[in-house]
Amino acid sequence: MKPINVGLLGIGTVGGGTFTVLKRNEEEITRRAGRPIRITTVADKNLELARTVAGEGVRLTDDAFSVVTDPEIDIVVELIGGYGVARELVLKAIENGKHVVTANKALLAVHGNEIFAAAQKKGVMVAFEAAVAGGIPIIKALREGLSANRIQWLAGIINGTTNFILSEMRDKGLPFADVLKEAQALGYAEADPTFDIEGVDAAHKATIMSAIAFGIPMQFDKAYIEGITKLESADINYAEQLGYRIKLLGIAKKREDGVELRVHPTLIPEKRLIANVEGAMNAVLVQADAVGATLYYGKGAGAEPTASAVIADLVDITRLHTADPEHRVPHLAFQPDQVQDIAVLPIEEVITSYYLRMRVDDKPGVLADITRILADSDISIDAMIQKEPGEGESQTDIIMLTHLTIEKNANAAIARIEALPVVSGQVKRIRLETL
């Protein structure tokens, strides 16, 4: 059987892992795919590195465009990253009738609608299992395994860097800045960690999962994004006392009036399995009507875990290479003409519970004033801690957990509480999901 020829764009960590795993498991992969899968060409700016990884028998070039237009190449694997040249290369590969495998969540979250439309028109496949949660086959589960279900919501720890930081803050009681330095020293965080710690990376992934789960277009620009930079050890400790863990979650929920799409630090009951996902691991919890809750757990990054997903996509495309395009699994699970343009709701319309921490004067009547304001906004209290003030201190912390409410009511109540003369500074607010 004639081998499938693959052109690899970028031979960094994941590209190197893809080479290694393809070579090591060549026999197994061929048995599954029905024909050999060979990386015949590699494009990378660093030709020395490419030569070291790829060895003999592979064409090396620093011109990626020569790969996407090469008539000998069947599948292009894009591992360059970013929005710019990667978009041009992917669209050029599609234009030239090549199937595409990509691990580029940023590209798909922002330009996915355009890319899938181009692929549909040309009758080629774009596979992207590696773009979300590394080696965990969550895209396949959402797109195929759960296709009998109405998916109601999903919630994921989908950024290993932030999960490592939050785990260390909880275990060691250290402030955010100290743990970030440790994460950078260990290689868990980039030199510029903005996309991770500000929640952007998780929002790219949540956007992709929401599109597949609910059959809607990619709407990254509508996602609400809040990172972990303002989290304090005190809040992690108070959450623990109340029986909760704080995780950065990517959440997508289908409601009758639209879709919630949000990324933010979230209190989760500590008895939930997902609350106990520690270190750099990832997990996605999916709630669907027929199957109930399913949890997908594993390594969300790294050379070989991500390569595992890249190669699974190569095997899928190889199997379906000659299939009629009309009978392939649709990119976003739903048939292209059945994708519905359902609105993503603004954060003010989100319905959730809240953790509120406020610094108040230790005097009679303060608690009554605060609870009256919450009641005026239709917010009821689920649990509360009032700390004894320290020796010689005239102020103390009050911590409250609320029942479900709409965010705009919480905003109004918080503004009124902050205006009270007995409350100093801002009210600390963290959303809470019981999952």
Q: Mind telling me the catalytic residues?
A: 205
Helix axes 26-33, 303-320, angle to 10 degrees: 30
Provide the b/e sequence for 40-60 (b: ≥16 CB within 10 Å): bbbbbeeeebbeebbeeebeb
Residues 368, 422: Cα–Cα separation, whole Å: 12
- Give CA–CA dist 411/421, Å, rounded: 18
**H helices then E strands: how many in the chain?**
15, 17
User: Strand pairing of 423-432 and 258-269?
Assistant: parallel
Contact 428, 238 (CB under 8 A): no
Spatial separation of the C-alpha atoms in residues 25 and 43, rounded to whole Å: 23
Tokens, residue 217: 């277009």
Q: What are phi and psi of 274, to 5 degrees?
A: -65, -25
Q: Which amino acid is at 409?
A: N
Contact 410, 377 (CB under 8 A): yes
Q: Count other C-beta atoms under 10 Å from residue 246's C-beta.
A: 23
DSSP string, 17-70: HHHHHHHHTHHHHHHHHSS-EEEEEEE-S-HHHHHHHH-TTSEEES-HHHHHT-
Do the bridges between strand 351-361 and strand 423-432 make them parallel or antiparallel, or are there none, so unpaired? antiparallel
Q: Is 368 exposed, middle or buried (0-12, 13-18, 19+ CB in 10 A)?
A: exposed
Encoded tokens for 295: 């949890």
